[in-house]
A = this chain, B = another copy of it.
Amino acid sequence: METNIATATVITPEAFLAHWQGHRGLTRRIIEAFPEKELFTFSIGGMRTFAVLAMEMTDLANPGIDGIVTGEWREKYNMSHQTGEGMPETKEELLALWDETTAKIDRLWGQLDPQRFQEQTVAFGQWPGPVYGTLLYFVDNEIHHRGQGYVYLRALGIEPPAFWER
């Protein structure tokens, strides 16, 4: 097969899934590393708690993978990403939603049409762009907020898992 720079593959769907799930595994370990109380209360500079940030990730990824696959976008959890209103109240519940989402991504990924990544979509009815861009945004947003969780953990005197261990 001839490849050229305009259509060449930087990353295949299979590799992207492994990349995303590798990040999700690390983020799960960061959630676990927080003491229960601080997960829901600790903050720096008026920022959101790591529990709210983690639920934002879940609320992008879980209905997000439906939208990626089907093109139909809807919100999943009736909660506010700013105040955390309506969100889980325990680490266990938060991790259960995390794990349900991880399994759902694995399950639905196989239904993705290989040509889907280059199609246009309007993520959550609000953000237009190519499907690959939406997927990258999900991962980038997770890395961004997880990096903030690293600072919270360090400020709490807790050594976080290494960034490069997936």
Complex partner residue of A118 from B9, B46, B112, B114, CB under 8 angstroms: B9
Range of interface residues on A (Cβ < 8 Å): 35 or more
- How many copies of the shown chain assemble into the complex? 2
Nearest CB on B from A16, distance (A): 5
User: A151 at the A/B interface (Cβ < 8 Å)?
Assistant: yes
Q: Does A96 contact B (CB under 8 A)?
A: no
A7 CA to B15 CA, complexed, in Å: 10
A5 touching B15, Cβ below 8 Å:
no
The verdict on A155 contacting chain B, using a C-beta distance below 8 Å, is: yes
Taking CB as reference atom, which chain B residue is nearest A145? B147
A16 & B7 in contact (Cβ 8 Å cutoff):
no
Q: Are A136 and B11 in contact (CB under 8 A)?
A: yes
